[in-house]
Structure 1
Amino acid sequence: MTASNFNNAARAAKLSVAPMMDWTDRHCRFFHRLLSQHALLYTEMVTSPALVRGGALHLLDYSPEEQPLALQLGGSNPAELAEAARLGAEAGYSEINLNVGCPSDRVQSGTFGAILMRDPKLVAECCAAMIKASPVEVTVKCRIGVDDQEPSDVLPEFIARVAGAGVGRFSIHARKAWLQGLSPKENRDIPPLDYDLVQQMKGLFPALHLSLNGGIATLEDAMAALDRGMDGVMIGRAAYHQPADILMQADHLIFGQAPLERTREDIALQMLPYIDAHIHSGGKLGQVTRHMLGLFAGQPGARHWKRHLSENAHKPDAGSHTVVEAIEKMHAARPVLC
């Protein structure tokens, strides 16, 4: 089982959905898995102190259908990260990923995330400890540098040091992170992208599996990066806001599977049993449907789908019937073809 998980995650990393705080929770991942059976999915970042010191093991909960699934950890204490990695492996995750890319103030104050780009030696120590403790693959998601660092100097040294600790797979966000002066949101847009530098890393480290992250907005963009020699592509916001555009054709175009005859509406209807089970267990409709608002993005009537769910999912009697009503509203708004 461990070897299978390892292989599944490595193959699935050809296309992955980035870990995104407040977005890639278990409901989002279940929904995304209906769209693509093969893309690698990531949890939101879970901090090692929360797991090890706080005992918040519920943060590791997921549905088996979400696999292949990677757990992203945040932390900077090697022993603590090792224990968190062990817990993640025991929970059945296919990969354990270390966050060396998040620029938020809260993450910086915990001395992890993008600020660790300044200390590749510590990152290597953390990864070595995690690898020793985890039977599943340990990977790293990083930036090309932070603040006044020169990425062309920093990134090769960082990769070499961390790869020397045993990491064979990196997802590289092709932007610097500015730890002072820019918000996390601004850090996703303002620092310029440097795809060429990430491409150069593939030339310098041909044995490593390197995924490109940052600014990739379409499946065509992802395919172009793969054609240029990258091993994988990680897509964030576009996969969340236009999930069908990114994921519905991924299994065919990226992973070479026979195309499936299904519609976005089919996906919405497939979510109904999951929604019913979630509500039966005490959950709220909006906890699930907030991730589904972009399912029909760009399609006729999409505004009515989104509006109906946004206005009704919070109501006490909201349930799977609310999703069916949203589909009906969308159909009613579409032009009649003669």
Structure 2
Amino acid sequence: PGLKFSINGGVETLQDVEDQLSHGVHGVMVGRAVINRPWAWSQVDTRIYGEAENPALNRRQVLEAYSVYADREFARAEAENPRYAPSLRRNLIRHTANFFASERNGKRYRVELDAGMGDKRLKPSRAIHQAMEVLEDAILD
């Protein structure tokens, strides 16, 4: 009676989360689903947490803000721990790879992103922006 249960595994969409919560579970863990298709979760605030408005920006704005963060963290790593900076740079760029999963030119975005990761002269923001160039405005905005 006093126990709370959470679901872990097999949850792929926001609809799956809503279905599980409607059955009375306390929580739903969705880590891999979010990693695989992050933008599919952009409405979680309104659909799951009951916010009146969705604070999620469009994908272009999210990537612009993330690019500033990525460059700042990379610069900090170069100054504080230069040996760690190259792997951090790769990770900062790589974490945007699935942002356009199942979208038109999403695969081309990943290919361009990978090329940017390989060019060690590029800041994270430049690698991300170069990859964004293969996407249509309708997908970014």
Give the TM bin, normalised by the shorter chain: 0.7 to 0.9
Runs of at least 4 residues off by over 6 Å: none
- Code of the residue aligned with 1:254 in structure 2: it is I
Distance in 2 between residues matched to 1:224 and 1:243, nearest whole Å: 19
TM-score, with structure 2 as normaliser:
0.81
Q: Relative to total residues, which structure has the larger helix share, 1 or 2? A: 2
Aligned to 1:323: 128
1:306 CA displacement: 0.9
Map 1:300-311; keep pairs closer than 5 Å: 300-311=104-115
Aligned to 1:36: none
Contact 2:7-2:25 within 8 A present in 1 as well: yes
Contact 2:98-2:110 within 8 A present in 1 as well: yes
Aligned to 2:29: 234
TM-score, with structure 1 as normaliser:
0.36
Query: Whose relative contact order is higher, 1 or 2, with alpha carbons under 8 Å and at least 6 apart?
Result: 2
Aligned to 1:294: 98
Unpaired segments ≥5 residues, structure 1: 1-205
Aligned to 1:313: 117
1:328 CA displacement: 1.0
- Are residue 218 (structure 1) and residue 22 (structure 2) matched? no
- Are residue 252 (structure 1) and residue 46 (structure 2) matched? yes
Map 1:191-210; keep pairs closer than 5 Å: 206-210=1-5
Aligned to 1:19: none
Contact 2:12-2:33 within 8 A present in 1 as well: yes
Distance in 1 between residues matched to 2:118 and 2:39, nearest whole Å: 24
* Structure 1 SS opposite 2:28: strand
1:317 CA displacement: 0.9
Distance in 2 between residues matched to 1:312 and 1:324, nearest whole Å: 9
Contact 2:93-2:127 within 8 A present in 1 as well: no
- Code of the residue aligned with 1:304 in structure 2: it is R
Aligned to 2:64: 269
1:331 CA displacement: 2.9
Query: How many pairs are equivalent?
Result: 127
Q: 1:261 to 1:219 in 2, by over 3 A?
A: closer
Aligned to 2:81: none
* Structure 2 SS opposite 1:233: strand
* Structure 2 SS opposite 1:209: coil
Deviations 1:297-316 (A, max 9, x none): 12222112111111221322
1:261 CA displacement: 5.9
Unpaired segments ≥5 residues, structure 2: 79-84
1:296 CA displacement: 1.0
Deviations 1:170-203 (A, max 9, x none): xxxxxxxxxxxxxxxxxxxxxxxxxxxxxxxxxx
CA RMSD of aligned residues (A): 1.8
